[in-house]
Amino acid sequence: MSLKDQITEDMKTAMRAKDSERLGTIRLLLSAIKQKEVDERVVVDDVMVIAIIDKMIKQRKDSIDAFTKANRQDMADKEAAETTVLTAYLPARLSADEVLTAVKAIVAGLAEASGTKIGPGDMGKVMAAVKAQLAGKADMGEVSAAVKAALAG
């Protein structure tokens, strides 16, 4: 069963259980998926769904920060609840150590393939390779920090 199908089934379950908060978040997610399909005229796969979920979680985290600074704890709690629902659809994330190990291996592989030393100027090339391998498995903010550390050292 694809991730999109699982989300649709969870929406039906939330409807039956009259879980309005969970249902609202799932509907927002399905709406974002549908928007992507219509805009780009593609059928989304699990990787694209994970990218959409990552984007939505990042938006929620930014909103939580803004609401907290504005002393709107009620709105921050709502965003946090939505983040919890969305996070349930993500695969298990790599730890910071696992991310750093994977990044170092990718940098070593790129250096070996090119025959030259990889340095801070190669950030874009390294990020492209890392993103291809770690998309959906790790937070890209952590990945970027790990790449910078690997290139600096």
Q: In the numeric block, which tokens belong to residue 122?
A: 């190669």
- How large is the average pLDDT for residues 7-32? 96
Q: What is the pTM of this model?
A: 0.76
Q: What is the per-residue pLDDT across 94-127, written as a single tens digit (0 to 9) for each?
A: 888 888 888 888 888 888 887 778 777 778 888 8
Structural domains in the chain, CATH included, are 3-87 (1.10.1510.10), 96-152 (1.10.10)
Q: What is the 3-state secondary structure (H, E, C) of the chain?
A: CCHHHHHHHHHHHHHHHCCHHHHHHHHHHHHHHHHHHHHHCCCCCHHHHHHHHHHHHHHHHHHHHHHHHCCCHHHHHHHHHHHHHHHCCCCCCCCHHHHHHHHHHHHHHHHHHHCCCCCHHHHHHHHHHHHHHHCCCCCHHHHHHHHHHHHHC
- How large is the average pLDDT for residues 7-18? 96
Least Cα distance to 142 among 60, 58, 65 occurs for 58
More confident residue, 97 or 25: 25
Q: Name the residue type at position 96.
A: A
